[in-house]
Amino acid sequence: MNATVVTQQEKPQTWFGLVKEAILGSKQDFTAISVDRAIILLAVPMVLEMAMESLFGIVDIFFVAHLGPDATATVGITEGMLMMIFAVAVGLSMGTTAVVARRTGEQDKKGAAEAAVQSIILGVVISALIFMVCFPLAPKLLALMGAGPSILKVGSTYTRIMMSSSGIILMLFLMNSIFRGAGDASVAMRVLWLANFINLCLDPCLILGLGPFPKLGVTGAAVSTSIGRSVGVLFTFYILWRGRGRIVVQRENCRFNFKVMANILRIAGNGTLQFAVATASWVGMVRLIQSFGSAATAGYTVAIRIVIFSILPSWGLGSAGATLVGQNLGARQPERAEQSVWRAAYFNMFFLGGISVIFLLFAPHLVGIFSNDPVVIGYGSNCLRIISLCYVIYAYGLVIVHAFNGAGDTFTPTMINLVCFWIVQLPLAFLLSRHFQLGPNGVFLAVLTAEILLGTISIYVFRLGRWKKKVV
């Protein structure tokens, strides 16, 4: 017998039919149907979107790792620097999602379209500034991050391409946040699938020089990423202006609206600071790991890619919770908004709990897929096992932080990040790795401690309910 999802005044539907509706694109009012059904309809395409994103990261590092520790370390160090740009992308996406979701819940289609246009204008301006700064300075930044002569020789071009073209990634984040805020999660999924499918096809061709393609080594990974993401951005513009989704941008929306722009920037400012706090800590951790050599950095890089592979689907659940919070607050249903978050977090706990068991049992085998260096495998396995111990409590923290952002309260998680990552994680990592001479394992233990603290504080603050009164 097929399981069904049934609520009062809703048509019974099989799980297969519900998942199919989610993937093809649902036209449901997410503030009116059952909470579990709304979570599934939003989360399924978001989880699939994030799964494709994480698959891209895994395949990318798979090919790069076989080029040697220097190439792998180049990717790890560059990603540490890119995190600062991602902070801007994520912050702007938070502001966009919060405003678009709130206007959607209020049934204000014009307001949602205006918010979309203003966020795109901001994204284009910021992307241009990123290119002008990063194109000439990227190799120097790589050296400042502690890269030795061998890494600079292998990876300078990779870093220049990735850093200077990172505005493309910002625009992809931003455009998909528009669709997610409006409830068009399946559109965002298709966009990212297209971008990453192109990247996955080009990666081995350009890295290894298959067929008529030149052998570019680690540089090929940067070229593949830039091409794939660029196509994805162009596709989002096509969908948005075609006007068949929940958001329809018309000619009269295409003008400056400084009031709406200021509202997005107000939320995005704290959102950027929130992510910057976490990513600045991340950069510090990469710098600390690099001091233990390329093998430690390579092991850490591979392990973190695997961690991201496991967490990105959880981000899908968190994003679903954020959309439901924004839309339900817009529809003046704060209790339903809270219920949506607890249910999404509950589902996430079971998912990440299962992943944690897999990491504890099979960490060396997972890291061994990407490297045959026993030293790299050792570092990577320790990282996976230690960090996975926080997954059950972190599952709640991840969803709740998304919920704060979906409500437009980006200040609260910024303060939580400040305490967990700067006041606790960084000093503890240095103390454990250096003073207590635990080496890289001390860094991994500091990450574990910070994530457990983040989950605990998030649950406590969320239960206070102040986020329900946030005006967007």
- What whole-number distance in Å separates Cα of residue 358 and Cα of residue 229? 31
| Nearest partner of 270 among 90, 433, 22, judged by Cα | 90
pLDDT the model gives residue 3: 42
Establish if 1 belongs to a structural domain: no
- What whole-number distance in Å separates Cα of residue 433 and Cα of residue 431? 6
How does pLDDT run across 167-179, given as a tens digit for each residue?
998 999 899 999 9
Is the pLDDT score of 17 beyond 50? yes
CA 314, distance to chain mean position in Å, is 10
Establish if 2 belongs to a structural domain: no
Establish if 202 belongs to a structural domain: yes
Q: Is 128 exposed, middle or buried (0-12, 13-18, 19+ CB in 10 A)?
A: exposed
How does pLDDT run across 213-249, given as a tens digit for each residue?
898 888 888 899 899 999 999 999 888 887 767 888 8
Establish if 4 belongs to a structural domain: no
- What whole-number distance in Å separates Cα of residue 32 and Cα of residue 44? 19
| Counted domains in the chain | 1
Establish if 141 belongs to a structural domain: yes
Compute the average pLDDT of residues 311-324.
Answer: 89
Establish if 357 belongs to a structural domain: yes
- What whole-number distance in Å separates Cα of residue 217 and Cα of residue 7? 54
Under 8 Å between Cβ of 219 and 157: yes
pTM of the complete model: 0.83
Establish if 3 belongs to a structural domain: no
How does pLDDT run across 98-143, given as a tens digit for each residue?
999 999 999 998 899 999 999 999 999 999 999 998 888 888 888 8
Structural domain boundaries enclosing 322: 9-469
Establish if 150 belongs to a structural domain: yes
pLDDT the model gives residue 65: 78
